[in-house]
């Protein structure tokens, strides 16, 4: 699983903390880097992740898109 904690400033992700139990230790780092600087909302956050090469990152993006944030 993946846990994402976001700090927002004026509706934009100022900081993302990502925790994952995946064997890929870089997964959390990539998600954190991709989300930082994006406007908070399902579509925007999903867009930040859906263009990734890693399928696991894309899956997190798809999940965020379905959440109606």
Over residues 35-56, the mean pLDDT reads 96
pLDDT at 43 over 90: yes
pLDDT at 53 over 90: yes
Q: What is the pLDDT of residues 22-32, one digit of tens each?
A: 888 899 999 99
For residue 8, the Cα-to-chain-centroid distance in whole angstroms is 13
Distances 68 to 15, 25, 47 between C-alpha atoms, Å: 20, 28, 14
Which residues are CB-neighbours of 11 under 8 A, at least 6 positions away?
A: 39, 40
């Amino acid at each position: 699983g993946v846990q994402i904690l976001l700090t927002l400033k004026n509706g934009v992700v100022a900081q993302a903390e990502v925790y994952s139990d995946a064997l890929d230790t870089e997964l959390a780092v990539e998600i954190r880097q991709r989300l930082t600087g994006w406007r908070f909302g399902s579509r925007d956050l999903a867009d930040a992740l859906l263009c990734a090469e890693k399928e696991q990152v894309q899956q997190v993006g798809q999940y965020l898109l379905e959440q109606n944030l």
